Chain A
Amino acid sequence: MSDPRAMRRRDAFLALIFARWREIYREPEVVTWSIVFPVVLSIALSIAFRNRPAETATVAVVAALENERITRILRNTPGIEVRVVEDAVAAAHALRMGMAAVVVVKDADGVVYRLDPTRPEALLARSRVDDALQRSAGREDPLPTREESVSEAGARYIDFLIPGIIGMNIMGGGMWGVGYHLVDMRIKRLLKRLMATPLRRGDFMLAQMIVRVVFVFAEVGFILTFARLLFGVPVRGSIIAIMFVSGLGGLCFAGLGVLTASRAMTIEKATGLMNVTQMPMFVGSGIFFSAERFPAVIQPFIQALPLTALNDALRSVILEGSGLISQAHEIALLASWGLVSFVLGLRYFRWD
């Protein structure tokens, strides 16, 4: 670069990058939101949703002569707790109040299980009670089976959660770190001040984007290291693939940040717009639970959201060690969202 103009542009570009970087790391809130918050959140959620051994199933039996054999068998079965109640009314009450998952009644034709099939613990209890009663009545299982209990790293809730939290942070960082920052600069008339210098608009925006991506790298590296040391979350994919997906996600949401920031003249408007943009993804894009849980009719919408693509790609790359080629669909979706919102945002951007 011997051309003085090109050199000046490069100097200005680097100076902008360093200035923005300094602003970010001198802002205590940035560290709080991008580092402390995800760590605390994942610790809290990993405690709340820790993998517990299957709970005991509570079964209500009416105190009656014909039920004595059943009561005895169930009392001797591990994993079942028997609650003997006075009469059918008390049994129904226990069921309603959740004090028992199943009511077991013997009648002339055999045994009746009374339960609410929409409650998962009711189905579990019924199957355990049924097994115990059938075996004691002499059932022989024709196919021998046995159980091996596994709690494999990579299949636990915390493993599912960490890539989701990384995706959430990349979304929030792009919206706030770029979008909010631009609106703040507009309100303080700093944008206008910069436009009164020979600085080029494109160079300014590009510098914002680059700083954002570098910050994403640091953030993702930190969260993954932490998750691995504290929870043993496996990092199976290549660092390059993980950083490529993260960086692309960072650019995509920085683009959305530019778009949401393009017109707003007040912090309130900008904040409202950013929340409205993020909310569907926060709920639907599989941060805390799988996006597959939503009904099929809204799946096309959910699958089209950039955060769904980012979370899916991050999970595949981090947990399953997938390569980038297998994530081509997600990558294309992220790139399109980023490009379209960046171009539109810049097209309508208010510089004064």
Chain B
Amino acid sequence: MAIKTQGDEPGRGSDDAVRFGRRVDSSDNRVRMTEAVVVIELRKNYGAVEAVRGVTFEIARGECFGLLGPNGAGKTTTIEILEGLLHPTSGQARVLGRRWGADDDEIRERLGVCLQQTVLSPKLEVHETVELFRSFYRAGRAPADMIAEVGLTEKAHARVGALSGGQRQRLAVACALIGDPELLFLDEPTTGLDPQSRRQVWDIVNEFKSRGRTALLTTHYMDEAERLCDRVAVIDHGRIIAQGSPDELIHSLGGDHVVEISVGDNGSSRLDAGRLTDLPAVRAVHQEVGVWSLAVTEPHVAIPALLDHLRDDSHELLRLTTRHASLEDVFVALTGRHLRDE
């Protein structure tokens, strides 16, 4: 599978180190200014558990970067190290050109943070909560404007405990944005929310992006990563297994389209992956619980050939669907597993 991987190949790994090394050690301010986050060979062990096993990436200013991976991949650990809340076992993390441990107060003034789950005080009202968070920052947004921006004006005087899950999450995002941060960290911002609430959170993040700010978000939803992120690092078992823009990653599958078929038994022979791969415009074949997935460059070429092939072998076609390839397909191609294992 021709997907750009990172860290696995020794050649590419050392290549990266050279590239990052130049940027980090450089005293050239222009270079520093372009990178909002630089992470080099980050590791974090919890006793015997290796939660993060050598993660390297960088985020340019104005970019929205996504860490996409299943539960337990190490997303929260990575982002909390970048938020200055956890100490890495080894490796480097630079945020806004500074290192944790030296300029913590300065970094915190310019960061917005939304943790994976935070239960904000249920007894406080929405505006009181936003005003409280505003008071922690030197500069920032007007609380009423912030509340309006996340669509909670009608709830401004409601207790936090009386809000719905989606409203609470928008409040949490408001608290992350109230200091008018240059860099926003969102850890699974829409997990567990209904589709409408998810879209509302996405709108808020898009508005933040449109003002040229930088964001790092983690998610196990491929649609979220595709919609919000300029670049995505696919993370699994504490390692980054692919990195690039969503389009690049999907292109790397070899075909932008996925054709899925299931067939009945013809009594004699079974479908053969090798022969399917030989069909025109088919780039890769993957089979799972009776469904064959074909990565395809040109569906109008591949499908007629596929149908001919089925007819020649007298396979009964039970189902045929075609869709645009997604980051989910990238993850499946790389790991043989799905992002969400339910």
Q: Which residues of A contact B (CB under 8 A)?
A: 4-5, 8, 11-12, 14-16, 19, 22-23, 26-27, 188-190, 192-199, 352
Contacts and interface: CB of A to CB of B under 8 A. Distances in A.
Contacts of B85: 192, 195-196, 352
Main SS class of interface, B: loop
Nearest to B117: A189
Interface string B123-136: 11000100111011
Contacts of B124: 19, 22-23
A15 B127 CA distance: 12
Interface of B: 83-86, 105, 108-109, 111, 113, 115, 117-121, 123-124, 128, 131-133, 135-138, 159, 175, 179
18 contacts: A4-B138, A14-B135, A19-B124, A22-B124, A22-B128, A23-B121, A189-B115, A189-B117, A190-B118, A190-B119, A192-B85, A193-B120, A196-B83, A196-B85, A197-B136, A197-B179, A198-B137, A199-B136
Contact of B115 (A19, A23, A196): A196
A199 B84 CA distance: 13
Contacts of B138: 4-5, 8, 198
Given A197-B179, A198-B109, A352-B85, A190 B121 contact: yes
Nearest to A4: B138
Given A15-B131, A19-B121, A22-B124, A193 B115 contact: yes
A189 B86 contact: no
A6 to B, nearest CB: 11
B136 A198 contact: yes
Closest 5 CB pairs of A and B: A15-B135, A188-B119, A196-B113, A197-B136, A198-B108
A5 B137 CA distance: 9
Contacts of B115: 189, 192-193, 196
A15 B119 CA distance: 19
A117 B111 CA distance: 77
A141 to B, nearest CB: 70
Nearest to A27: B123
Nearest to A196: B113
Contacts of B118: 188-190, 192-193
Nearest to A193: B118
Nearest to A25: B123
Contact of B135 (A5, A11, A23): A11
Nearest to A185: B121
Nearest to B106: A198
A11 B159 CA distance: 22
B136 A189 contact: no
Contact of B137 (A8, A27, A195): A8
Nearest to A197: B136
Given A15-B135, A22-B123, A198 B117 contact: no
B176 to A, nearest CB: 9
Given A4-B138, A19-B121, A197 B131 contact: no
Contact of A189 (B119, B133, B137): B119
Nearest to B159: A26
Contacts of A11: 135
A49 to B, nearest CB: 38
Contacts of B120: 190, 193
A196 B111 contact: yes
Contacts of B123: 22-23, 26-27
Which of B123, B132, B135, B138 is packed against the most chain A CB atoms within 10 Å?
A: B135
Given A196-B113, A197-B179, A12 B119 contact: no
Contacts of B131: 15
A198 B84 contact: no
A213 B123 CA distance: 21
Nearest to B131: A15
B255 to A, nearest CB: 42
Contacts of B119: 188-190
Contacts of B136: 8, 12, 194, 197-199
A263 B139 CA distance: 34
